Chains A and B, each alone.
Chain A
Amino acid sequence: MHPIFSSAIIAAPELVLTVGSLFLLLLGTYGGGANPPGNVINARGVTLAAVIILGIAGWAVIDAPAGRFEAFAGLYVADGYSAFLKVLILGAAAASMLLALPWLQAAATLRFEYPVLIALAALGMCLMVSADDMLSLYLGLELQSLAAYVLAAFHRGEGRSAEAGLKYFVLGALASGILLYGITLIYGFTGTTNFGGIALALSDGSKSLGMVFGLVFIVAGLAFKISAVPFHMWTPDVYEGAPTPVAAFFSAAPKAAALGLMVRVLVTAFGPAVFDWQQIVAFLAVASMALGAVAAIAQTSLKRLLAYSSIANIGFALVGLTAATPTGIEALLFYLAVYLAMTLGTFMVVMQLRTPDGRPVEAMADLAGLSRSQPRLALAMAIFMFSLAGIPPLLGFWPKLAVFQAVIDAGLIELAVIGFVLSVVAAYYYLRLVKIMYFDEDKVGLVSDGSRANGVMILGAALFCSPIGMLAMAPIAAATGRATASLFGLG
């Protein structure tokens, strides 16, 4: 068989996504009119088809044989690590498509481009976590980013959304430039863009200043994508300006993909330079946890609050990377899996709520007395908040425990103490939402307005984050263990 075919078989999920998103584009373009109700039906149909395509891609991921397979002359690798992350990414992307339907329809902006863009972003993200070379890394990252820029400006008639898109684009382009500059430096000093080749070049101990420079630029560029402090500036503005379902999407799948990518780059390509990047990552982690916890206290907008919450959560996840051990990476993957459920669940609850005059909920104060008007949604929201705050026995506690156990194991007790203390600070604002929902009097009388699919997804996420989710810890631990073993070449 020609190598291109064997490579294509290894990259089957991406192949499915590529062909699928082109098909979706055709389906959307020729499938219905530009005016209601044709465009709505069309968009729903495309969304459904997109979810099915993501499902097929997910099946291709799960069905792939275990082990490490390189494709396209070492540009692409399929292993247990990429498989774990791809399942998370595809799941989060599918959920992001479904959860947007009622919201976009109410905002009269339900167009078929939405699922297509997310499918393209999912393709980029799958490439990112499978990248084994700086070039494929950049390719995946840019594909995902370009789709994301468009998504941020999806409400093209609204100034805020356009502003968010532009802001995201300008800052994102800058970050990509920084990343590329780092890649060129690394290429110049090691003579290769392949991860394995870079590791080999670094492992002979001839570490030059130029390589460290390149490393710093690459980490900075990636830190922008995961919105780690001090490269987080865009996050609150973009979350606030972008349509809420888009913010939900941003907070979930791209974070998982970029973090997964960062882990692979640092562990496989820069593994021999661990002492150089460990302190950078430790700083990113502490700064993100601290800023995410402190800056969120003063917020009144729900979406800004959730933006800072996601910054803080990325900080906690990075703690696992700081440990730079297999246990740390396992904990990080576990953190990502739980974080996706928590953040998507929270956004879904927010989107499900409407004021009686049909306005979407944006301010935290709007949630006052939610436990009276919508007891079930309030309960789900409370579960997500306590889970994000990391209060046992809710599931959100366990990944925090896992990452901190990993750093304590690695001898970084100070980091654990700082992290736990900051988690108490962060608990304050999560509690504030619970307080608003449960202690304050109902003034608005919010109504629940959304699809049954969203209700089911909220229920599923809430059950997963509730103590019942603790029963899922054993299988998740097994999966993260396999993924990490493949990343470290242990199994």
Chain B
Amino acid sequence: MGFPILSLMVVLPLIAAMLVLVLPGDEAGKARAARWTALATTLLLFVMGMQLWQDYATDAAGFQFVERLPLFGPWLEWHLGIDGIALMLILLSVFLMPLCILAGWESVQKRVPEYLAAFLVMESLMIGTFAARDMLLFFVFFEAGLIPMFLIIGVWGGARRIYASYKFFLYTLLGSVLMLVGMLWMINDAGSTDIGVLTDHDFSVQAQFWLFLAFFASFAVKIPMWPVHTWLPDAHVEAPTAGSVLLAGVLLKLGGYGFIRFSLPMFPEASAQLIWLMFGLSMVAVVYTSLVALVQADMKKLIAYSSVAHMAFVTAGLFALNEQGIEGSMVMMLSHGLVAAALFLCVGVIYDRLHTREISRYGGLADTMPRYALLLLFFTMASVGLPATSGFVAEFLVLLGLYQTSTWAALVMTTGIILGAAYMLWLYRRVAYGAAAGDDTRAMPDLKAREVVILLPVVAAVLWMGIYPKAFQDPMRPAIAAVVAKFDGVALATLPTDMTILQAAGPQPVPAGQAARHLVQTQAAH
């Protein structure tokens, strides 16, 4: 066992959180010191994340940086390790955290040390969730995140914060306890809490169905899928800007991560038989929530519904059960993590100035806030999935994979892209073009240096992922191949569509790498 970098990344934010809480000084001095401490910690973690990426052996299969300590009696052990999927999601978390801290730099004035401590605890828990190699340890990190998020929404949230925080907490808790029952059954059946052992364990097909549904109850709420998505718009609208960033950027990905880490490799038969469920819900979600997004008057709500639609792409891609689909879903999660986070940051910028999220109160920002309008345009396009942005790579790969499994599902999901363009462009038109809604709107100052500093790294990351996605895809490829290998010879559900194409052959014609290379060439030609 080498240098315990993962443990350090989990523990460091916790130490910083405690430090932030006990800083001496008066109210203002404490707040200042706490902000700088939190920023320094999150930046340090970002550097550590980069180091992790640097040291990660891209081609190797299996888990790296494994740490194992039997600390907690008979129930679980401290067992960490990452594969490419976990690596990428950890990088997303450590990338977004400094931005979250900066986003609340001026707008949060109430109980600053507690606020920052909650975020630091969140960061530790997110990294822990992605790095956990013990199922109960995973569950602990996964669930523990509810507490700081409950407080973030409830203490620093908007007008209906209490309703939203309860809904968030109880919805996700109910889903999770059903998963926990499934986990306990699995632990009794396999005699181990180790995720690796459980992945190799063959659960009976009948058990797989129940277990799949138990895990589905948790991950579907978390990701969220229609019809259990209703907590998300409430939570987003009421959460402070940084809370929304975290929620959209990382917490939704926990659901997708859960599917790819547990549901797919542990219950392959059930997954293959239940693709109709996943496709059906994804198709409904992408059309329904896109239409709902169209009629929203509240900016955050609109972006929240767009998140549900994008997450539907993730679930559809994952259950295409081939490399392109799963890879597309992973890129979609990363891309959405960046773009939705940036959009919430953009909303935060104008909310700080006008203290309303109502779309009709804005307008004409292209004239009065040109820099802001430019960045907002960029992220709008990224959300729509314009080529050269990360959104395009993600949607393309998902649809490519999905098409092989079900052309009908691919067809319906594609309409989601069109609807997505509709609501995002319309949002942009109403906010940035036309005449300003009032004098106060016209008087809003353009972006400050701090706000530009927050948004520019996201621009860079989105472009990087859009133009050269290989850097992100390569580390994930062995891990995804391991998941797909679980489906060798597994029969897919037969549906009255052409979903049976791959039944005999097993998934996987075009290697995803070629698709990505093709993409790069197309863009280079432009």
Contacts and interface: CB of A to CB of B under 8 A. Distances in A.
B174 A435 contact: no
Contact of B170 (A424, A434, A474): A424
Contact of A417 (B73, B165, B170, B181): B181
Nearest to B136: A401
B525 interface: no
B177 A423 contact: yes
Contacts of B60: none
Given A402-B75, A424-B173, A417 B154 contact: no
B180 interface: yes
Contact of A413 (B136, B147, B185, B187): B185
B136 to A, nearest CB: 8
A420 B162 contact: no
Interface in A421-469: 421, 423-424, 427-428, 431, 434-435, 438-439, 467
Contacts of B174: 421, 424
Interface in A190-248: none
Interface stretch (B137-145, B198-206, B239-247, B287-295): B137-145
A391 B184 contact: no
A422 to B, nearest CB: 10
Contact of B140 (A392, A405, A474, A478): A392
Where chain B touches its partner, the secondary structure class is helix
Nearest to A330: B74
A470 B72 contact: yes
Contact of A435 (B136, B162, B184): B162
A179 B486 CA distance: 59
B155 A398 contact: no
B109 to A, nearest CB: 15
A473 B75 contact: yes
Interface string B232-273: 000000000000000000000000000000000000000000
Interface string A399-421: 00110110011000100110011
Given A401-B184, A402-B75, A439 B170 contact: no
A127 to B, nearest CB: 31
Interface in B53-82: 71-75
A45 interface: no
Contact of A428 (B74, B166, B180): B166
B423 to A, nearest CB: 33
Contacts of B477: none
Interface in A266-302: none
B111 to A, nearest CB: 8
B186 to A, nearest CB: 10
Contacts of A106: none
B178 interface: yes
A471 B170 contact: no
Contact of B169 (A427, A438, A473): A427
A171 interface: no
B153 to A, nearest CB: 10
Nearest to A405: B184
Q: Which of A405, A417, A427 has the most CB of B within 10 A?
A: A405
Contact of A431 (B136, B166, B178): B166
B77 to A, nearest CB: 10
Nearest to A473: B73
Contact of A393 (B144, B155, B185): B144
Contacts of B150: 431, 434
B170 A428 contact: yes
Q: Which of B74, B146, B151, B185 has the most CB of A within 10 A?
A: B74
A404 B147 contact: no
B188 A408 contact: yes
Contact of B181 (A398, A409, A413, A474): A413
Given A421-B177, A424-B170, A424-B174, A477 B73 contact: yes
A64 interface: no
Given A405-B188, A416-B181, A420-B180, A439 B75 contact: no
A404 B143 contact: no
B146 A401 contact: no
A474 B74 CA distance: 7
Contacts of A173: none
A371 B181 CA distance: 34
B184 A477 contact: no
Interface residues of A, number: 36
Interface in A473-490: 473-478
Nearest to B161: A439
Nearest to B146: A391
A476 B75 CA distance: 12
A475 B72 CA distance: 9
A316 interface: no
A427 B161 contact: no
A435 B162 CA distance: 8
A138 to B, nearest CB: 36
A471 B162 contact: no
Contact of A409 (B139, B165, B178, B188): B188
A402 B72 CA distance: 13
Interface in A153-193: none
B178 A392 contact: no
Contacts of B162: 435, 439
Interface string A258-269: 000000000000
A488 to B, nearest CB: 17
A347 interface: no
A404 B169 contact: no
A401 B180 contact: yes
A386 interface: yes
Contacts of A420: 177-178, 180-181
B173 A438 contact: no
A414 to B, nearest CB: 10
A476 B73 contact: yes
Nearest to A414: B181
B151 A474 contact: no
Contacts of B72: 470-471, 473-474
B99 to A, nearest CB: 25
A408 B186 CA distance: 10
Contacts of B178: 417, 420-421
Given A420-B177, A435-B154, A398 B75 contact: yes
Contacts of B147: 386, 391
A41 B304 CA distance: 64
A302 to B, nearest CB: 20
A405 B185 CA distance: 7
B169 A392 contact: no
B169 A405 contact: no
Contact of B71 (A391, A434, A435, A471): A471
A473 B155 CA distance: 32
A40 B180 CA distance: 52
A413 B177 CA distance: 13
A398 B146 CA distance: 17
Contacts of A435: 154, 162, 165-166
Given A420-B180, A435-B154, A405 B170 contact: no
Contacts of B144: 391-393, 467
A43 to B, nearest CB: 37
Interface string B159-175: 00110011001100110
Nearest to A428: B170
A393 B140 contact: yes
Given A401-B184, A431-B169, A438-B151, A424 B139 contact: no
Nearest to A423: B177
Contacts of A393: 140-141, 143-144
A21 to B, nearest CB: 36
Given A398-B75, A471-B71, A473-B73, A438 B185 contact: no
Please name the 3 residue pairs, one residue from A and one from B, whose CB atoms are nearest each other, closest first.
A474-B73, A420-B177, A473-B73
7 contacts: A392-B144, A397-B143, A401-B75, A404-B184, A420-B178, A428-B170, A435-B166
Given A421-B174, A424-B170, 16 more contacts: A393-B144, A397-B143, A401-B184, A404-B181, A408-B181, A413-B181, A417-B178, A420-B177, A421-B178, A423-B177, A431-B166, A435-B166, A438-B154, A439-B154, A470-B72, A476-B73
